[in-house]
Amino acid sequence: MLMSKLIGERTREAPADATIVSHALLVRAGYIKQLAGGIWSLTAPAHRIVKNIERIIREEMNAIDGQEVSLPVVQPRELWEQSGRYNSIGEEMVRFKDRQQRDLCLAMTHEEAAVHLVRDGVKSYTQLPFMIYQFQTKFRDEPRSRGGLIRVREFIMKDAYSFHATQQDLEQYYAKAFTAYENIFRRIGMKNFIAVQSDSGMMGGAIAHEFMLLTEIGEDTIAICEKCGYKANVEVADSVLPLPNAEAEQALQEVYTADAAEIAQVAELLGVSADKTIKAVVFLDKVSSQYIVAFIRGDLEVNEAKLKKVVKMDLVPCSLEDSNELVAGNIGVLGIEASGAKAVFDKSLQNTFNMVTGANKAQYHITGVCAARDFPNVEFADIKKAREGDACPKCSCALILKNGIEVGNIFQLGNKYTGAMGMSVLGADGRNFFPIMGCYGIGLGRSLASVAEEYADEKGLIWPIGIAPFKVYLCPLRYDTPEVKECADSIYASLQEQGIDTIFDDRNASPGFKFADCDLMGIPIRVVVSPRSLEAGNIEIATRYGGIKEDIKIEKLFDRLSSALAILSVL
């Protein structure tokens, strides 16, 4: 491709709202252009990277027997009602009416459509397992799109759906998919990625993993044990607290605490540490409008994702302005039943002694609360957020927390969708059953941006050779001199003949200007043809990473290119 005709303006200035490197550089290098919030156009170089990522994913999906299919973007309400998600998914799903006033939506995931496609044709367990996948445009009305391609509303996703006769078969396949995902991220050049246990969210199902690129700018937090390798999104991460020390049980006592409402205020007023108090955090169930009170040790935080799983409700945090039963700032474990709210107790309260809790009465707290004595019949659940330094649930070493960007996810779905949608298959035992599903997603644009984030330097982008839009930046200097033109044109023709993707900078511009563009665009190999080096029969070859920079004889160029391509592909 000719640089003089390449669409995509390169600029010095980053967009005013660009706070992360990949956003700034992808815009500055002319790779992407914003059409609306979270909606981007890609120019040819960015599209080429997406296609390279797509090719790698396709190869890995085919290697685990995937069948590439195509499922629609626009889907009817009735389909989503079969799974119950038409109502359970919120505003992130776009809904509209067609000209005949029928309800349609933009599918943000394709479990329903996948089951619809295979439901009739798959009649027997002998047709299992199988996996179908697609690359498809999806739109999710994200409330906070940001960061260029990191968090968008419209994106291309590879989504895959596997169907199995048994949980064991799913687990075997899930392990294969896990390995395929590791291959994919490794092959697209990502270095610092890990797989972590995750929350299955709106997908349902029990076991799920996210593939995370570890990076400061990640919005997810991951708890990691560097000793045993335990890794989990804090949304699901377990961690172990030391058992409370046994103490002599004090008597319950109601104490006046005036307007002290926050844990810090109450603890200070009563002269105890925060871990001797019981925090109450209130949520509202959007469906029933019931209040849910989560009790947890005062120094800990409630993990909303864990709580949702425990209560199986669609909760939102809430303030208490309009509650007659719950006294904001003074909610306590004793007598909470009277309020009508549902109480959930974190495991951190188990076996505690002499704690402070609200008195369920304005301006009063109760001291001396002992779990075994004062609330003996409650069930404790894990609803706390893991903290840096908490003990690993597997080996008890201290956990560390890191930020990450989710670049892919895999879920074990169970038979939620096949059951709800009536996909019944004849088993080996002559009885019908609902197949067990797995699903597997990767966002292509976010993968691109994540790689950009991981590699970029002060000069611009750096693309690993496996996904680079062009492998070679062919850069004649003084292209208007006949010798340079003849040599550069001939190299360009040979590169094209050999199928090496090349961008040919045919512009009349200074070396510095051209080199800066090449660096900003992140093309792995730069080949420079200049009058001076030609005099010595030389060509310059330099790489954007890997440290190659040398003059070589013209006749050696293609040998050196081959070896450079090989070297870069294993760096």
Which residues are at the interface with a second copy (CB under 8 A)? Answer: 1, 4-9, 30, 33, 35-36, 39-44, 46-48, 50-51, 65, 67-76, 79, 91-92, 94-96, 98-99, 102, 104, 106, 113, 116-118, 120-122, 126-127, 130, 132, 134, 136-137, 139, 141, 143, 153-154, 156
Smaller CB separation from a second copy, 92 or 247 = 92
Smaller CB separation from a second copy, 79 or 327 = 79
Quote the least distance from Cβ 132 to a second copy, whole Å.
Answer: 6
User: Which H/E stretch holds residue 265?
Assistant: helix 263-270
Strand-pair partners of 248:
none
Quote the least distance from Cβ 242 to a second copy, whole Å.
Answer: 44
Q: Strands, DSSP E only, in 313-470? A: 315-317, 342-346, 355-358, 364-369, 380-381, 400-414, 425-426, 432-433, 436-443
Quote the least distance from Cβ 68 to a second copy, whole Å.
Answer: 5
Smaller CB separation from a second copy, 76 or 546 = 76
Smaller CB separation from a second copy, 5 or 431 = 5
Torsion of CA 76, 82, 83, 87, to 10 degrees: 60
Amino acid of residue 423: M
Smaller CB separation from a second copy, 102 or 186 = 102
Smaller CB separation from a second copy, 43 or 197 = 43
Q: Which pairs with CB-CB distance under 8 Å and at least 24 residues apart come from 263-270?
A: 263/298, 263/299, 266/356, 266/365, 267/298, 267/356, 270/356, 270/365, 270/367
Quote the least distance from Cβ 329 to a second copy, whole Å.
Answer: 33
Smaller CB separation from a second copy, 127 or 323 = 127
Smaller CB separation from a second copy, 92 or 226 = 92
**CA distance linking residue 318 with residue 282, whole number of Å:** 6
**CA distance linking residue 12 with residue 29, whole number of Å:** 9
Quote the least distance from Cβ 204 to a second copy, whole Å.
Answer: 22
- 249-272 burial, b at 16+ Cβ within 10 Å, e below that, comes to eeebeeeebeebbebeebbebeeb
**CA distance linking residue 242 with residue 32, whole number of Å:** 51
Q: Which one-letter DSSP state was computed for residue 388?
A: T
The interaxial angle of helices 444-455 and 21-28, nearest 10 deg, is 100
Quote the least distance from Cβ 32 to a second copy, whole Å.
Answer: 9
Quote the least distance from Cβ 343 to a second copy, whole Å.
Answer: 33
Quote the least distance from Cβ 408 to a second copy, whole Å.
Answer: 20
Strand-pair partners of 158:
135, 442
Quote the least distance from Cβ 547 to a second copy, whole Å.
Answer: 32
Smaller CB separation from a second copy, 151 or 306 = 151
Q: Which pairs with CB-CB distance under 8 Å and at least 24 residues apart come from 336-340?
A: 336/293, 336/360, 339/291, 339/293, 340/290, 340/291
Quote the least distance from Cβ 59 to a second copy, whole Å.
Answer: 13
Q: Strands, DSSP E only, in 386-490? A: 400-414, 425-426, 432-433, 436-443, 472-476
Smaller CB separation from a second copy, 368 or 435 = 435
